[in-house]
Structure 1
Amino acid sequence: MSLFSLLPGDSGLPEAPLCSRKGCRAPALWRLLWNNPKIHTPERRKTWLACAEHRGWLEDYLRTRLLWRETLPLTEASSPCTDS
């Protein structure tokens, strides 16, 4: 339990993962795995989450900068953690 779970209105249940696109509050359906070869080791993968609407936009953003590695579905078994 965190200190924030004691605040009024917090159920203490984990929230559903949300899309990483700025301002988007839609549920995430995809994991976009990426890394910056200038600062990350080759095996390191950072994760952005994407809804159906923003998957293409986020993929294009990462591909244009040569950062994109792969896109996988977000499932119950996959870890929804994100590194921005």
Structure 2
Amino acid sequence: MEPDVCSAKGCRAPATWQLQWNNPKLHTPDRRKIWLACDEHRASLESFLGARQFLKETVPHTPA
């Protein structure tokens, strides 16, 4: 089975973080969407979501 990979465009690195977010215009407050991030792209993906006030929480990713 392939490892879970980072959601950053073009990145194929294994994911080590889950960025949990929602768009309040589209989702109920308790709904969480997930982007996966490697260590290198965690900050840039958090910044992108944070600038839009979508980021709710970042937690370590444990593959299923």
Q: TM-score range by the shorter chain?
A: over 0.9
Q: TM-score, normalization: structure 1?
A: 0.73
Residue 17 (structure 2) pairs with residue 33 (structure 1): no
1:75 positional shift: 1.5
What does 1:46-65 align with in structure 2 at a 5 Å threshold? Answer: 46-65=33-52
Q: TM-score, normalization: structure 2?
A: 0.96
Structure number with larger C-alpha Rg = 1
Q: Specify every segment of 5 or more residues in structure 1 that has no aligned partner in the other structure, as ranges.
A: 1-13, 80-84
Report the secondary structure of 1:57's partner residue: helix
Q: Specify every segment of 5 or more residues in structure 2 that has no aligned partner in the other structure, as ranges.
A: none
By percentage of residues, which structure has more strand? 2
Report the secondary structure of 2:35's partner residue: strand
Q: Comparing both chains, which one has the higher relative contact order based on Cα–Cα distances under 8 Å and sequence gaps of 6 or more?
A: 2
1:18 corresponds in structure 2 to 5
Runs ≥4 in structure 1, deviation > 2 angstroms? none
Q: Which amino acid aligns with 2:44?
A: W
User: RMSD between aligned alpha carbons?
Assistant: 0.9
1:68 positional shift: 0.3
1:15 positional shift: 1.2
Measured in 2, the distance between the counterparts of 1:74 and 1:61 equals 19
Measured in 2, the distance between the counterparts of 1:52 and 1:58 equals 11
